[in-house]
Structure 1
Amino acid sequence: MNKISGLVITFNESRNIVDCIRSLKRVCDDVVVVDSLSADDTVALAEAEGATVIRQPFLGDGPQRTAGLPYCRHDWVLNLDADERLEDDLADWLARTDLDALPADAVESRRRNFVGDRTTRHAGQYPDYVLRIFNRQRADFKPVVAHSRIQAGRVIRNEGHITHYSYRDYADIFNRACLYANWMAKDLAASSKPVHGWHPMLHGTSAFLKHYVIKTGFLAGLDGLTLSLGKALASYLKYARALEIRRAIR
């Protein structure tokens, strides 16, 4: 059987961390949790489940995940967010597949995203391929503050699934849009990319049309409309906030 380490980053994830770790332990004999100084009992719950917990002030999404890699005992790593779970098909594939024999440094799988107890194929919610399985000797996380991706050379695609409890409700969609937009704005403001006054509206409108029209969010009723508006808000605020940051340091 493969030797796989599980990796999770957390901040106040007491409602999710136990189920996440138990999901990882279906295929991992080693689980590392990098906690951003949670104020709840995330750490105690993780340690009770047998995870190795590293306490680390938040460095940004990518660097925070990278900080956990030296504590992983195995080269192959399965990285989940605390609100994600393995589904049976992906767990079964991992259990029977020799990862070292694959012509790949990383593996993509499909993800089902939920709003509350509902999921949809529209508005970019499915199949939403994500890269969660990788060899840490040959791949690493992009060093950005928000929505880091694994950087790998050879990537193959698997049709197994991850469940993602993305949003608790509609309010959570907009709360997260504001939070992530602020993080992404910091990366954008620090980069050399040009940002102009018309960019917030352009990118916000483009994000809405992409998710509501091109990715057929209109077929998902109010869920599809709300998700598309959330994506539009996040994109608009990313560019607006980046402009604000740059103006403040001039």
Structure 2
Amino acid sequence: MQKNITATIITLNEEKHIREVIENVQKVCDEVIVVDSCSTDKTIEIAESLGAKVIKQKYLGDGGQKAWCEQYAKNDWILSIDADERFEDEALEMIESIDLEKTQYEGFSFRRKSFIGKKYIRQWYPDRVVRLYDKSKCGYNTEGEHGAVQTKNFQELDVDMLHYSFTDFGMLVRKADRFAVNLAHVRYKEGKRASWYDPFLHGMGAFFKGMIIKGGILGGLHEWHVGFASAYNAYMKYVIMLELQENENNE
């Protein structure tokens, strides 16, 4: 049953995903808005054929793009979803059951099951994210590589989203490299500084957290690949911060 909820989806060349994600959220939302960053494939054509409202906007960053599209939603309640995500049926049923007019919460968070190709990544679970929220009371931050809804008044729902994060490990490495560089610069601009031991400490910490604390060691060989990739990503973030500090001191 559709409710007074607007689904928002940001896209760039997502013709492989856009039909499934729109049909997924249309089960509970009476409006779907797609904010597209100049796709050159059939993303816009498919979205419009399914009844979605398409708005073109140059990419403002993850949080910036999601915050920008809120102004076009006819409803206060927003269901934000990426093109590579889906809500499981149980999650959709949970959304239907919430009385949004009487709730004391500003938002609701969901667990995410993430995949690389068809391989489920145990150590990334539950990776909670607030995706259903009242735009009149809270919204997305506009800084950093990944946006997040800024509210402390949310309820954790024990239901899952599916997140088809990466098509393969090559895509993981490419995005991880970009993320490490961008995050290092963001932290540096925020005034954060690194010590010589931070690359080692955080690299080993990331591996230990994923493989031991989050149970990656109980998975297959692919979990080890992810564990080492996470360690490398954390290590390089602090290496880049040290480099920025060194360049500053040499000026």
Q: Same fold (TM over 0.5)?
A: yes
Q: Residue 8 of structure 1 corresponds to which residue in structure 2?
A: 9
Alignment of 1:1-250 (within 5 A): 2-120=3-121, 122-124=122-124, 126-245=125-244, 250=251
* Residue 246 to residue 100, structure 1, CA distance change in 2 (3 Å): farther
How far is 1:145 from its partner?
2.8
Tell me how far apart the structure 1 counterparts of residues 74 and 243 of structure 2 sit (CA, whole Å).
43
How far is 1:247 from its partner?
5.3
* Residue 237 to residue 61, structure 1, CA distance change in 2 (3 Å): farther
How far is 1:245 from its partner?
4.7
State the AA in 2 paired with 1:154: N
CA RMSD between the two structures: 1.9
Tell me how far apart the structure 2 counterparts of residues 144 and 159 of structure 1 sit (CA, whole Å).
28
* Residue 183 to residue 14, structure 1, CA distance change in 2 (3 Å): farther
* Residue 40 to residue 186, structure 1, CA distance change in 2 (3 Å): farther
* Residue 229 to residue 133, structure 1, CA distance change in 2 (3 Å): same
SS of corresponding position for 2:60: coil
Q: TM-score, normalised by structure 1?
A: 0.91
Is the CA contact (8 Å cut-off) linking 2:193 and 2:241 kept in structure 1?
no
Is the CA contact (8 Å cut-off) linking 2:193 and 2:245 kept in structure 1?
no
* Residue 145 to residue 58, structure 1, CA distance change in 2 (3 Å): farther
Q: TM-score, normalised by structure 2?
A: 0.90
State the AA in 2 paired with 1:114: F
Stretch deviating more after TM superposition (144-153 or 217-226)? 144-153
Percent of pairs with identical residues: 33
How far is 1:137 from its partner?
0.8
How far is 1:244 from its partner?
4.0
Deviations 1:11-61 (A, max 9, x none): 222211121111111111111122222232322222222222222222221
Tell me how far apart the structure 2 counterparts of residues 235 and 215 of structure 1 sit (CA, whole Å).
16
How far is 1:99 from its partner?
1.6
* Residue 248 to residue 40, structure 1, CA distance change in 2 (3 Å): farther
Tell me how far apart the structure 1 counterparts of residues 232 and 158 of structure 2 sit (CA, whole Å).
31
Structure 1: gaps spanning 5 or more residues = none
* Residue 59 to residue 173, structure 1, CA distance change in 2 (3 Å): same
* Residue 42 to residue 193, structure 1, CA distance change in 2 (3 Å): same
